Amino acid sequence: MSAICHHIPEHLLQDYAEGRLPHPFAVVAAAHLSICDACRARLEAEDLVGGTFLEELEGASLGAGARARVLGALDEPPPALMRGSGIFPAPVMAALGGHPPRWRMLGGGIRQQILSADDSGSLRLLYIPPGRAVPEHGHGGLELTLVLQGSFADCEGRFARGDIEAAHDGIDHQPVAGAEGPCICLAATDAPLRFHALLPRLLQPMFRI
């Protein structure tokens, strides 16, 4: 695999380490961390700082029955671990429920599968044929995109396997898949995209983008 050039922004990595990152973005971050040695090292450093901070806090008394609850939880069988499969890291396979993607056509050969959608945002897989452009759009919030296969390029640069693009409400772009093959991405958003062309805007409610 080629070197990863675009990583999780520092503030998002810190939110992930502290458990504050909303679920869709946490899945993207976990998938990136599973294939990026540099960001795993950064996360370990965040955990070390947090552990040092906890050690300096004064102890707190536990409620009645706390010890019994902890020991009881230790007796429960651990949940089955999900393994990665092909281009999909373990966090993505977990979001897929262990099954291959069930693509839905969006037009122009572009496909998607929505993995989750609630008040915290949406998480989806995108399949973009080689050389195909996603309709130009802006953002009402944050869009975090991880490349799982192939590559795409836009006004922010080129993104290949393992790279993350964090597009905020100040970025308008039109990602174009590389010519080397289909681009498959994992994308999380916390607000609807703002499409420039009329047709994507009309189809937006149907495709839940």
CATH number of the domain where residue 112 is located: 2.60.120.10
Radius of gyration of the chain (CA): 19
Helix (H, G, I), strand (E, B) or coil at 40: helix
Taking the CA atoms of 117, 101, 144 and 193 in sequence, report the sign of the dihedral they define.
negative
Q: Where in the sequence is the domain holding 194, given as residue range(s)?
A: 1-209
Full pLDDT tens readout for the chain, 209 residues: 468 999 999 999 999 999 999 999 999 999 999 999 999 998 988 766 555 545 555 656 656 666 666 666 556 555 556 788 999 999 999 999 999 999 999 888 999 999 999 998 999 999 999 999 998 888 889 999 999 999 999 999 999 999 999 998 888 889 999 999 999 999 999 988 777 777 767 766 666 67
Number of domains in the chain: 1
Q: Which residues, 6+ apart, have CB-to-CB distance to 30 below 8 Å? A: 16, 89, 91
**pTM score, two decimals?**
0.81
Using CA atoms, how far residue 101 sits from 4, 25, 113, 117, in Å, is: 24, 19, 7, 16
Distance of alpha carbon 34 from alpha carbon 85, whole angstroms:
13
Which residues are registered as beta bridge partners of 189?
Answer: 122, 143
> Residues 6 or more apart from 27 whose CB is under 8 A from it?
91, 92, 95, 115, 116, 123, 186, 188
